[in-house]
């Protein structure tokens, strides 16, 4: 856009100008129009001069001087398009001079025509005696081409709300105000306009810094008091203590036509909320200008620009020190900083001097440079685009170390000189990402893999190779991407697993699949994926090293009692440790390096001895035979039951199971495991509880379990249960006709989901069948009464056994635990629980009080008709709100024109992405209440702050981010919407007008790591049902955990607790459509176990489900 108004820089040029006409003479017949134009030109009245030069050219369109003056005049008012047109005529004149090529080249450069400009600079270099200037101009063209290929260090945008059709520059902060210099309005202190171009004089303006965050128009006003005079005022600089300033002023004294009003500086003090005691800088002069002072080092050092005699060229930069209560004689900053052209607008911060110059290689006009002081000033460097442009860029000011403002007259602004905001960006790093796609544990070849950005635009299209691998090159570090698999076969697309790997193909991370079917990940190098895994890992007991318990045996563990010395060595044969076996063949080594593989050697060589490795739960997980030299090779086996996250990310899982026959564990059995190809991959033994474990299994695969020593009825009557890490049963494993058991592997933490699905098909009322006997089932024929007792010992039912000692309880509660007691206690009896085929499910345990109990869950020993499969899903009521916020560093709106803001749920799933507006405001629409959110910003390495705003754009919540770069909030609750920042010291409360009644005395609690609703808590649920099931309000069910375990697992566990409570309520008559489910993991504890050491009672209080009645209807 063409600039119609002259700017502050023309005042500067007015002080620089040396008249062209002093070198020219005219004949007596010289054109009078040309003479008048030159006179106006000398007075800097370029606009009026242009009219006379055009008239002179009409008289003689071949004349050189009218065209040259026209070109120069347009260049002076920065109308580079017209300047270029007239310089074309100038350089084609017979009277062309070397400087014409220079100015023509500068006009071309300002218009973005770099190649053409370079040709003109070459001609100038050939003809001119100023070799330095020629080389600088040529160098600038080459460097611009290089710079434009580099990543941008800054982001920048015009501040349209601050700018006017005239000029603004020199922004500084002062207390809660923002000062800047402008000629936007008529100076009410002055009786006249500027004498040289008719525009208003420059004055200091202000507005409240808090208004930057507002959507309303800024309330900008001229500063009152003594800061403004009748004529030009500004820019100014204020010391760090905000007690002193120095300001540039130009008077308008009339001392004859040859007198120039020079720029001068004045100091002032801030006292009683006013600027006063204005004093001239002692080195002001009527012979030269001193201007644009900057106070550094707490006001002890002054940097300024001046064209005083003795400098390097036009304007140079100087320094003066405050010594002995006065300013010292100015010192030129020397040839490293100053050039034969102009250096102006100094600004000092963090040992670095920033300034503007047209004497170094740059984009054109004044460019902002910076130089570091290290014993002496280092060579200045260009701040490059977008800070610098092909026009004048000047008056830089930092609000923080990475944000600030500067002024420019570049195209695209609002007026002559405009204020621009900038933000320093973190250097862009790029990372190669490798991955593998698998289905049922096997790599899939030729699968189409799409990489998508946050806007779902395709970035890459790849196909997996013969081993399922793919590779995305040069992705920007820490950016979020999606991966979508395109397969015609839905089972491959929905049930496949996607891993991030290192370049060698080793698995680093299993990616989560979103409901949309996409996978999400953040771009990180290998070492950061590994570090992230360590942070997330729930169990830390083996972080400092692994340990193992070994057992020497011959044929079966326990058959070797001789004491022998066992040596632990490295692969190189270096002895690390030694131990003796005990009378049961056990030995133990602890705190071994995580990454090491070891060798075991026995002092007495015996090829008939074998080695079994057990974990801390007493389960054998590996059997090792010696090699020909009697050496046992030990590897650090990853136990997926303890390190679930690391195992998931490596595609590894474990199997823990127990085998029983008629309710009794089968001990010391050899157990073989085969892969899907029927290849033997491992052997272990059952322990005294009938338990066994296999590690290093790949998930999403099929395995077959064999007990080679079992046969006949014992084999086919035996039951195998999968177990959790504590040994509690999860579900039964199916047996094939050949006697083997088939096992489908999953990530270890997903086995519980199968149990949950099983529980969902259990009806409320179940049947328990059993048999009473003396020594063998069927040996007790007379009838006897069997009582069913609840946990309180109350008899809930009784039945009579038949002639074979069998009994049936037809209507027992599936969610309750029972004990059974016989009416007559005269002789020792046994009890077993039976399935539909009268096969023993479990042998009852005889307690000291004479009652019989069972170890499994009630439904696992019961008979029932399964319900139709209907997963209980936690539904969130559709009560939403818009969340509006503002991101900034020191000053609201001080970072850039736009920035991305991401919102995640607690599980790390990206929910939405938005962009801030020019002031840093952002809005997320329809976020659910009672869900925990995490906000992240695009440039997370900078110390940003975040506030939330109400509907009137007033700040209602201010937070700091945590050490992970996250703004993490607890749930947007339905009545008293608290937004709490995790790990921050302070928080503020946001209130919403949705009523909710807390059932403060109504809460149920759980055993550690359990989701079971205890019998003692069921009366509480029954009370809720009886009081509210026929009401109209919504019931909120909200579950929590204690702080032990990983964040991810506790989120899952709290969700299961909510599911169980909802399931109980619905099965007992509470309408499902009036229940809102919620879960928050370890958030909002009753007892803060992060800041204190908690006992079991404290943890118990935190493991809870709470209830609230909402007055708002669905």
Query: SS3 sequence, 722-779?
Result: EECCCCCEEEECEECCCCCEEEECCCHHHHHHHHHHHHHCCCCEEEEEEEEECCCCCC
- Residue 1066 pairs with which residues in a beta bridge? none
pLDDT band at 130 (very low <50, low <70, confident <90, very high): confident
Note the pLDDT of residue 942: 60
1009 CB contacts (<8 Å, ≥6 apart)? 726, 1045, 1053
Residue-level pLDDT at 21: 37
Is it the case that residue 1103 has pLDDT exceeding 70? Answer: yes
pTM for this predicted structure: 0.45
Separation CA 633–CA 622 (nearest Å): 11
Q: What mean pLDDT, rounded, does the chain reach?
A: 81
Closest to 621 measured CA to CA, from 640, 599, 603:
640
Average pLDDT of the segment spanning 127-150? 76
Q: What is the count of structural domains for the chain?
A: 8
Residues 1015 and 1085 in one domain: yes
Q: Give the number of other CB atoms < 10 A from CB of residue 910.
A: 19
Whether residues 1006 and 952 share a domain: the answer is no
Q: Which range marks the domain in which residue 698 is found?
A: 644-759
CATH value at residue 1104: 3.30.1330.60
Select from 408, 424, 440 the last residue of a domain.
Answer: 424
Check whether residue 968 and residue 1031 sit in a common domain: no
CB-based contacts of 22, cutoff 8 Å, min separation 6: none
Q: Are residues 568 and 528 in the same domain?
A: no
Residue 875, in any domain of the structure:
no
Which residue has 């490596």 as its token pair?
650
CATH number for the domain that contains residue 817: 2.60.40
The b-or-e profile of 692-726 (16+ CB within 10 A means b, else e) is bbbbbbbbbbebbbbbeebeeeebeebbbbbbbbe
**What would the two tokens of residue 613 be?**
């490795």
3-state secondary structure of 139: helix
| C-alpha 568 chain-centroid distance | 45
The residue among 719, 701, 811, 816 whose CA lies nearest residue 766 is 811
For 688, the token pair is 């005294």
The CATH number given to whatever domain includes residue 32 is: 1.25.40.10
How far apart, in whole angstroms, are the C-alpha atoms of residue 1076 and residue 1022? 18
The answer on 650 and 591 residing in a single domain is: no
Identify the CA nearest to 697 among candidates 750, 741, 651.
651
| Residues of the chain above pLDDT 90, percent | 28
* Chain segment 304-323, per-residue pLDDT in tens: 999 999 998 889 999 999 99
Taking Cα atoms as reference points, which of 379, 348, 344 lies closest to residue 365? 344
Same domain for 1006 and 1085, yes or no, is: yes
pLDDT value of residue 221:
93
Helix axes 98-110, 80-91, angle to 10 degrees: 150
**More confident call, 354 vs 882:** 354
Question: Which residues share a beta bridge with 485?
Answer: 449
The CA distance from 386 to 108, in Å, is: 19
- Phi, psi angles (nearest 5°) of residue 322: -85, 105
What is the band of 28 on the pLDDT scale with cuts at 50, 70, 90? very low
List the structure tokens of 882.
Answer: 């818009």
Tally helices (H) and strands (E) across the chain.
16, 72
Helix (H) / strand (E) element for 645: namely helix 644-649
Residue ending a domain, choose from 729, 759, 789:
759
pLDDT at 858: 85
Answer whether residue 193 shows pLDDT above 70: no
Which secondary structure element, helix H or strand E, spans residue 76, and what is its range?
helix 64-76
194/264 same-domain check? yes
pLDDT band with cut points at 50, 70 and 90 for residue 979: very low
Q: What is the pLDDT of residue 27?
A: 39
Asked if 208 and 89 sit in the same domain, the reply is: no
User: Does 1002 share its domain with 985?
Assistant: no
- Whether residue 1016 is predicted with pLDDT greater than 50 in this model: the reply is yes
Q: Which residues contact 739 (CB under 8 A, 6 or more apart)?
A: 706, 707, 710, 711, 715, 716
Which one of 759, 781, 802 terminates a domain? 759
User: Could you tell me the CATH number of the domain that includes residue 443?
Assistant: 2.60.40.1120
| C-alpha to C-alpha distance for 211 and 183, rounded to whole angstroms | 21
Token pair of 625, please?
């035979």
- Provide Rg for the chain, Cα atoms: 42
Residue 869 located in a structural domain: no
CA angle 965, 969, 974 (to 5 degrees): 165
Answer yes or no: is 564 within a domain. Answer: yes
pLDDT of residue 935: 75
Mean pLDDT check: name the lowest of 542-556, 1024-1038, 1064-1078: 542-556
Q: pLDDT grade, residue 330 (50/70/90)?
A: very high
Residues 6 or more apart whose CB falls under 8 angstroms from that of 132 comprise: 340
Query: For the chain, what's the residue count?
Result: 1114
Q: Is residue 689 domain-resident?
A: yes
Q: How confident is the model at residue 1039 (pLDDT cuts 50, 70, 90)?
A: very high
477: tokens are: 């570090």
Does residue 1 sit within a domain?
no
Q: What is the CATH number of the domain that holds 753?
A: 2.60.40.10
Q: Is the pLDDT of residue 992 over 80?
A: no
| 2 in any annotated domain | no
Q: How would residue 650 be classed by pLDDT, with cut points 50, 70 and 90?
A: confident
Residues 419 and 434 in one domain: no
pLDDT at 489: 72
Cα–Cα distance for residue pair 718/708, rounded to 1 Å: 13
Mean pLDDT of 876-885: 63
pLDDT in tens, 536-595: 654 443 334 456 688 888 888 888 888 888 888 887 778 877 888 888 888 887 756 555
> In this model, does residue 494 exceed pLDDT 80?
no
**Is 929 in the same domain as 1069?**
no
Rounded mean pLDDT of 942-954? 67
Together in a domain, 217 and 356: yes
Residue 176 has pLDDT above 60, yes or no: yes
Tell me how far apart the alpha carbons of residues 113 and 591 are, in angstroms, rounded to a whole number: 69
Q: Has residue 745 been placed in a domain?
A: yes
CA distance 605 to 864: 57
Report if residue 1050 sits inside a domain.
yes
pLDDT tens profile 218-263:
899 999 999 999 889 999 999 999 999 999 998 877 666 666 788 9
pLDDT of amino acid 569: 84
């Amino acid at each position: 856009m063409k600039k119609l108004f002259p700017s502050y820089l023309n005042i500067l040029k007015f002080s620089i100008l040396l008249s062209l006409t002093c070198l020219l003479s005219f004949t007596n017949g010289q054109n009078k129009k040309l003479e008048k134009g030159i006179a106006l030109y000398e007075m800097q009245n370029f606009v009026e001069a242009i009219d006379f030069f055009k008239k002179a050219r009409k008289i003689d369109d071949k004349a050189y001087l009218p065209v040259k003056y026209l070109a120069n005049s347009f260049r002076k008012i920065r109308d580079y398009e017209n300047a270029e047109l007239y310089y074309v005529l100038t350089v084609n004149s017979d009277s062309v001079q070397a400087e014409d090529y220079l100015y023509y080249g500068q006009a071309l450069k300002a218009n973005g025509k770099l190649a053409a400009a370079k040709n003109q600079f070459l001609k100038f270099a050939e003809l001119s005696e100023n070799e330095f200037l020629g080389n600088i101009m040529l160098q600038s063209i080459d460097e611009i081409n290089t710079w434009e290929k580099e990543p941008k260090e800054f982001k920048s945008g015009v501040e349209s709300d601050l700018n006017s059709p005239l000029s603004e520059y020199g922004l500084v902060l002062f207390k809660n105000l923002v000062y800047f210099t402008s000629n936007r309005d008529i100076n009410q202190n002055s009786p006249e306009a500027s004498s040289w171009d008719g525009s208003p004089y420059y004055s200091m303006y202000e507005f409240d810094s808090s208004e930057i965050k507002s959507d309303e128009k800024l309330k900008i006003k001229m500063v009152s008091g003594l800061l403004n005079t009748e004529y030009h005022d500004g820019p100014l600089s204020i010391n760090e203590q905000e007690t002193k300033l120095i300001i540039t002023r130009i008077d308008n004294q009339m001392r004859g036509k040859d007198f120039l009003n020079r720029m001068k500086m004045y100091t002032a003090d801030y006292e009683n909320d006013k600027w006063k005691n204005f004093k001239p800088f002692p080195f002001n002069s009527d012979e030269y200008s001193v201007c644009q002072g900057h106070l550094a080092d707490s006001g002890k050092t002054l940097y300024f620009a001046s064209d005083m005699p003795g400098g390097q060229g036009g304007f140079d930069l100087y320094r003066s020190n405050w010594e002995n209560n006065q300013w010292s004689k100015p010192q030129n900053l020397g040839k490293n900083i100053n050039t034969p052209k102009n250096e102006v607008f100094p600004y000092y911060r963090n040992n670095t001097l920033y300034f503007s110059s047209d004497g170094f290689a740059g984009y054109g006009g004044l460019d902002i440079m910076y130089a570091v002081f290290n014993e002496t000033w280092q060579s200045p460097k260009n701040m490059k685009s977008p800070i610098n442009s092909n026009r004048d860029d000047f008056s830089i000011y930092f609000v923080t170390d990475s944000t600030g403002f500067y002024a420019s007259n570049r195209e695209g602004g609002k007026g002559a000189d405009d204020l621009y905001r900038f933000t320093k960006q973190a250097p862009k790093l790029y990372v190669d990402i490798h991955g593998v796609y698998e289905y049922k544990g096997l790599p899939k070849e030729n699968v189409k893999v799409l990489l998508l950005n946050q806007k779902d635009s395709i970035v890459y299209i790849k196909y997996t190779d013969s081993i399922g691998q793919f590779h995305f090159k040069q992705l920007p570090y820490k950016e979020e991407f999606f991966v979508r698999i395109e397969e015609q076969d839905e089972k491959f697309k929905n049930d496949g697993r996607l891993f991030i790997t290192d370049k060698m193909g080793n698995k680093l991370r299993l990616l989560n699949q979103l409901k949309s079917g996409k996978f999400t990940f953040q771009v990180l190098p290998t070492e950061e994926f590994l570090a992230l895994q360590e942070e997330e890992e729930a169990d830390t007991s083996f972080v400092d090293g692994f340990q193992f318990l070994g057992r020497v045996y011959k044929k079966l563990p326990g058959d070797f009692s001789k004491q022998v010395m066992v040596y632990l060595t490295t692969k190189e044969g270096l002895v690390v440790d030694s131990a003796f076996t005990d009378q049961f063949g056990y030995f133990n080594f602890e705190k071994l390096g995580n990454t090491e593989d070891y060798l075991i050697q026995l002092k007495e060589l015996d090829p008939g001895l074998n080695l079994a490795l057990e974990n801390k739960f007493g389960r054998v997980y590996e059997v090792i035979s010696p090699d020909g030299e009697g050496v046992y090779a030990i590897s650090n086996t990853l136990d997926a039951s303890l390190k679930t996250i690391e195992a998931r990310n490596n595609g590894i899982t474990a199997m823990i199971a127990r085998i029983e026959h008629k309710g009794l564990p089968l001990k010391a059995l050899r157990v073989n495991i085969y892969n899907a190809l029927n290849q033997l991959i491992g052997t272990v033994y059952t322990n005294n509880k009938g338990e066994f474990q296999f590690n290093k299994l790949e998930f999403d695969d099929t395995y077959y379990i064999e007990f080679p020593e079992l046969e006949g009825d014992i084999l086919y009557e035996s039951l195998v249960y999968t177990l959790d890490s504590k040994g509690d049963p999860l579900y039964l494993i199916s047996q094939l006709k050949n006697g083997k058991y088939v096992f489908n592997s999953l990530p270890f933490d997903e086995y519980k989901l199968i149990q949950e699905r099983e529980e969902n098909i259990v009806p409320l009322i179940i049947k328990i069948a059993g048999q009473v006997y003396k020594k063998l089932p069927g040996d007790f024929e007379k009838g006897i009464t069997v009582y069913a007792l609840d946990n309180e010992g109350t008899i809930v039912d009784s039945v009579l056994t038949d002639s074979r000692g069998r009994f049936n309880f037809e209507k027992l509660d599936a969610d309750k635990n029972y004990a059974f007691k016989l009416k007559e206690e005269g002789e020792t009896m046994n009890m077993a629980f039976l399935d539909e085929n009268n096969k023993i499910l479990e042998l009852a345990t005889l307690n000291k009080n004479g009652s019989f109990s069972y170890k499994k869950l009630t439904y696992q020993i019961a008979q029932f008709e399964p319900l139709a499969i209907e997963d209980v899903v936690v539904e969130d009521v559709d009560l939403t709100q818009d969340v509006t916020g503002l991101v900034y560093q020191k000053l609201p709106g001080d970072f850039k024109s736009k920035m991305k803001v991401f919102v995640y749920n607690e599980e790390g799933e990206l929910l939405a992405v938005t962009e801030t507006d020019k002031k840093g405001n952002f809005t997320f629409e329809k976020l659910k209440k009672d869900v925990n959110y995490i906000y992240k910003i695009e440039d997370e390495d900078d110390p940003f702050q975040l506030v939330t705003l109400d509907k009137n754009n007033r700040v209602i919540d201010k937070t700091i981010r945590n050490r992970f770069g996250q703004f993490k909030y607890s749930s947007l609750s339905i009545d008293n919407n608290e937004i709490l920042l995790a790990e921050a010291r302070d928080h503020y409360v946001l209130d919403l007008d949705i009523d909710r009644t807390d059932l403060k005395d109504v809460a149920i609690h759980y055993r550690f790591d359990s989701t079971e609703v205890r019998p003692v808590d069921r009366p509480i649920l029954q009370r809720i049902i009886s009081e509210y099931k026929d009401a109209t309000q919504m019931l909120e069910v909200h579950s929590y955990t204690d702080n032990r375990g990983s964040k991810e697992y506790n989120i899952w566990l709290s969700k299961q607790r909510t599911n169980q409570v909802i399931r109980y309520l619905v099965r007992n008559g509470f309408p499902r459509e009036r229940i809102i489910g919620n879960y928050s993991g370890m958030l909002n504890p009753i007892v803060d176990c992060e800041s204190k050491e908690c006992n079991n009672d404290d943890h118990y209080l935190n493991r809870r489900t709470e209830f609230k009645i909402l007055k708002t209807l669905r």
